[in-house]
Structure 1
Amino acid sequence: MPTQGFATRRRAALFDALLELILREGFAHLSIGSIAAELRCSKSTLYTLAASKEQLVTATVTHFFRTATEQVEARVAASSSPRERVVAYLVAVGEALAPASEAFMRDLDAFEPARALYERNTAAASSRVQALIADGVAAGEFRNVDAAFAADLASSMMSRIQRREVWAATGLDDAVAYRQLASILTAGIDAGAARGA
């Protein structure tokens, strides 16, 4: 009989493999049977993770956002200044989303539970950027800008990047677009630039 630790690792490995699959191919066209075949496991194994395909997708998308948030926050924690934290945050978000194919993003938008998760995470990202900018203003590294407005500006562009609108308009992939956003945003609110430094 497998130990609890083994079972937990097996579940995590299945979610990771499923996440890789749906990020690459999307999920609308997949059935429990085709997912089981792709992951080389039984359908009954998948049903230990969730009671239906819809619940399985929702759990996997939740896993994706949770893992991405942990990776992004680790990058922010390793940064030493407010400016570096804003840049690290936006760049890390872009890198976390880079594996998401157009098929995945399209299916995510069409499936209400997954879209709701995406919208909650975008709202949380906007709040996080707002807090990081407010920290920079308080530290004197950023001009005394309205942090909520700057965060809303960043959030609007983040949504456009995630919907692949920026790629369609400019040809920039997500990671490059996030680096550009970080550069433009932080240069625009830099206190040194405002003093003519």
Structure 2
Amino acid sequence: MSAPSPSRRGAARHSELFDALVELLLTEGFAHLTLDDLAARLRCSKRTLYALAGSKEQLVRAAVVHFFEQATSRVEAAVAARTDPEQRLAAYLRAVADELAAASPRFMDDLAAFPPAAEVYARNTEAAARRVGELIGEGVDAGVFRAVPVSFAAEVITVTMVAIQQRRIATATGLGDAEAYEALASLLLNGLTRPAPAAHPQDEGQVGSA
């Protein structure tokens, strides 16, 4: 087999570096870190970082984009592994919660305070809300969920997700973003799922019968 081309090796190195950068930022935040700090922590040169982006601000935004792209792929893989509409909706929301669980409160605060990165989070939140609306629609069409107005449910979910993204839920409740998505999943599934049919008396047996 021939060795990978320099361009492929370079692309793989960039992806590995972004993965390491994302892990660092998720753990520690980024507002307090300089390019020198990042280069030292990632064990690379500032020149290497400048090859990825022209400034710290651009680098942070690119890392946030990378994080959400990778997270979206994993979330959709979790959904694709299920066929039941209820399980698909639960898998989506809980996979989102799992992805956000890796983010420290400091990262989330820095993200909210940095407009270029906050815009990326907002855009992904809007896409996630649309996806949840689609999954609810699947469940309603299949008769698994109550016949709720899907457009109304999608609007309520969008408002809630945006409030999570903008840190209003964290401020009002103390819940982190991952915890808020777990609570949203529980609330949605309990509210949407059709109740089990009531048992008929003849199905329950007769108490005291001979």
Using the size of structure 1 for normalisation, the TM-score is 0.89
Deviates most, 82-91 or 22-31: 22-31
Residue equivalent to 1:165 = 169
Number of corresponding residues:
195
Residue equivalent to 1:61 = 64
CA contact (8 A) 2:126 2:162 kept: no
> Which AA in structure 2 matches 1:152?
E
Shift in CA distance, 168/25, structure 1 to aligned 2, threshold 3 Å: farther
Equivalent residues in 2 for 1:143-162 (5 A)? 143-162=146-165
Q: Is 2:15 the partner of 1:12?
A: yes
Equivalent residues in 2 for 1:12-161 (5 A)? 12-161=15-164
> Which AA in structure 1 matches 2:173?
A
Deviates most, 146-155 or 83-92: 146-155
Identical amino acids, percent of aligned pairs: 53
Using the size of structure 2 for normalisation, the TM-score is 0.84
Output the CA distance in 2 between the equivalents of 1:92 and 1:21.
Answer: 21
> Structure 1 unaligned runs (5+)?
none
CA radius of gyration, larger in:
2
Shift in CA distance, 143/135, structure 1 to aligned 2, threshold 3 Å: same
> Alpha carbon RMSD of aligned pairs, Å?
2.2
Tell me how far 1:28 sits from its aligned partner.
Answer: 1.1
Superposed CA offset, 1:115-146 (max 9, x none): 11111111101100001001111111111111
> Which AA in structure 1 matches 2:53?
A
> Structure 2 unaligned runs (5+)?
200-210
Output the CA distance in 2 between the equivalents of 1:121 and 1:98.
Answer: 16
CA contact (8 A) 1:167 1:173 kept: no
